[in-house]
Structure 1
Amino acid sequence: MSAPVVLRVIEFINKAAGIVLTTEKAYFIEARLSPVLREESLPSIDELLTRAERGDRRLAQRIVDALTTNETFFFRDKAPFDHFRNIIIPELISRRPPGKAIRIWCAACSSGQEPFSLVMILDELKAQLGGRNVEIHASDISEAILNKAKSGTFNQFEVQRGLPTKMLLQYFQKDGDNWKISQDVVRRVNFFKFNLLDDPRSLGTFDVVFCRNVLIYFDRPTRAKIFDKIADRLAPDGFMLLGGAESTFGVTDRFASHPKERMLHLPLARKAAAIPARTA
């Protein structure tokens, strides 16, 4: 693959999805796009790119699907889910009237392990919720990975990463060499395609936003824009959770980090000191 083609791919994926790749990723680009060439019977990445640039939306989506990273697992990093169980849900229950739904957005949800983990935690908290409606909306830019999430099917390696055995037996059934999660769990998540570069106003307002392990693929100006979009969609007393390698520091003034909980962030007007730290 020639250097000019590499640069065109880098420009294309940055414009389409905000993802920053460098010329050092040429091998990665070629390895990810080669299967697309074979499946589409195309002679070169140059031809694939040319067709996408000329308006072939299906091929453009295939490029995005191939070049996005979909690393995830159940209860990833543990701490954000402890925050959700021990801080966020109790706080929202105390602040929201019983008839008002609690709305959660999992941005960049990948193959669904994050929102499915939240469903399992909400089942644990059923008595505290007292019949209160909790909506989980989960988005990703990749159509292929959303289809996998909607299928609720995971291989042995995927269910061994972070998922307690008790939950595996409670929520999953063996399906050949794979495991299939209960359709009741799948139905409780609204999966939809969404590009974080787009305007999220049509999505409504959320009480909690999980935007974890995706911002590391964007440059600082793009991260700042995404933080602005999230801040505009987050309730004034809402919560945002980031990945372990992500921070708002030096990027945005719309959020304040919780003083004791590293991955938990609050709208700037919120008094972080009023939120209790997680107890062990």
Structure 2
Amino acid sequence: MTPAEYDYLRQFLKARSGLVLSNEKQYLIESRLLPVARKAGLQSIAALVAKLKEPRETILAEAVVEAMTTNESFFFRDKTPFEHFTQVMLPEMLKARAQQKRIRIWCAAASTGQEPYTLAMCLKEMESKLAGWRIEILGTDISNEVLDRAKAGTYTQFEVQRGLPIQLLLKYFTQHGESWTISQNLRSMIQWRKFNLLDSFQTLGQFDIVFCRNVLIYFDQPTKTDILARISKIMTPDGFLVLGAAETVVGLSDSFKPMTDRRGLYMPNLAASASAQPPRLSMVAGAGRTF
């Protein structure tokens, strides 16, 4: 791969997905995109680049973005965010939403679905406290491939052994040979949607809780700032934002403030956003679960 070809692919990926690759990531592009090229009948990265430059070459472009943005996920990843979910966020929401009895949750960059399904299991374990409540979970990702896997809810033995307690595996999954499928009851709790974080958030509606973990690290600073600003506009004033362990709003956004002693958990900074007064958004009803 020539420097010019690598530079083109870097610019292409940043424009299409926000992904920023350093000068040292050429090996990553070659290892992930050579299979894409060969599947398309192309013999080299050079041929792939030439094909991408053709007008209206959308199918190959999507395949390239999917190959470069597919990231791993696993159940109860990092544990702490889910402890915050059950011990901090939900108790606060149960008090604040006692009249409406409705909560909307967005899992951005949901990948193969482990994060939304983990939240669904947490909710099921608390269902005695949620009688009559409507809980909606929206899981989005830029990749059709990982969303198809998420919708199916089927995981390998290796995947269910990564972070998933055995009692929850036996309670919510059915084994089929070497794979495990999560129950239809939990699958029905989640709405899946292909979505690019560079696109407008206005069609998503308003959320009480947003999980946007381990995705901002792939963007440059202006893109991070832009995404955080747009998230703040679709969150309820008393909502919660959850970022990954290596991510922060510090130096990027005044729209959120960290919760004391709650690593990775943020709330809207009402003082900073008071003058902005964003337009009121509808909740946008979607697939959800009434307990």
Q: Which amino acid aligns with 1:179?
A: W
Aligned to 2:46: 46
Partner of 1:275: none
The one-character-per-residue Cα deviations of 1:149-183 (angstroms, maximum 9, x if unpaired) are 11111111110110000011111111222111112
Alignment correspondent of 1:213: 214
Q: Which residue of 1 aligns with 2:276?
A: none
Contact kept? 1:240, 1:264, Cα under 8 Å: yes
1:13 counterpart SS class: helix
Q: CA deviation at 1:48?
A: 2.3
Structure 1, gaps ≥5 residues long: 271-280
SS in 2 for 1:240: strand
TM-score under structure 1 length normalisation: 0.94
Count how many residue pairs are aligned between Structure 1 and Structure 2. 271
Partner of 2:13: 13
Of all paired residues, the percent bearing the same amino acid is: 47
Q: TM-score, normalised by structure 2?
A: 0.90
Secondary structure at 2:200 match in 1: coil
Residues 10-35 of structure 1: per-residue CA shift (max 9 Å, x gap) = 11000000010022111110000111
Higher mean C-alpha deviation, range 63-72 or range 208-217 = 63-72
Residue 37 (structure 1) aligns with: 37
What is the DSSP-based 3-state SS (H/G/I as helix, E as strand, rest coil) of the residue aligned with 2:73? coil
Deviation by residue 1:38-81 (Cα, 9 ceiling, x = unmatched): 21111222332333332211111100110014121101111100
Aligned Cα RMSD in Å? 1.4
The 8 Å contact of residues 119 and 185 in structure 1, kept in 2 or not, is answered as yes
Q: Distance in 1 between matches of 2:265 and 2:91?
A: 15
1:100 CA drift (Å): 4.1
| 1:85 aligns to 2:86 (yes or no) | yes
* Contact 1:98-1:132 at 8 Å conserved across structures: no
Does the CA contact (< 8 Å) of 1:106 and 1:139 recur in 2? yes
**Could you list the runs of 5+ residues in structure 2 that have no partner in the other structure?**
272-291
Instruction: Tell me the residue number matched to 2:148.
Output: 147
Map residues 146-165 of structure 1 onto 2, 5 A cutoff. Answer: 146-165=147-166
d(CA) in 1 for partners of 2:150 and 2:127?
24
Taking the aligned partners of 2:50 and 2:125, their CA distance within structure 1 comes to 51
Alpha-carbon contact 1:241-1:265 (below 8 Å) kept:
yes
Hey, what's the Cα distance between the residues in 2 that align with 1:267 and 1:194? 23
Once the two structures are superposed, the pairs formed by residues 189-228 of structure 1 within 5 Å of their partners are 189-228=190-229
Query: 2:57 aligns to what?
Result: 56
One-letter amino acid of the structure 2 residue matched with residue 165 of structure 1: I
- The 1-side partners of 2:57 and 2:23 are apart by 25
Residues 140 and 195, structure 1, Cα contact 8 Å, conserved in 2: yes
Secondary structure of the 2:24 match is helix
Aligned residue number for residue 173 of structure 2? 172
2:107 equivalent in structure 1:
106
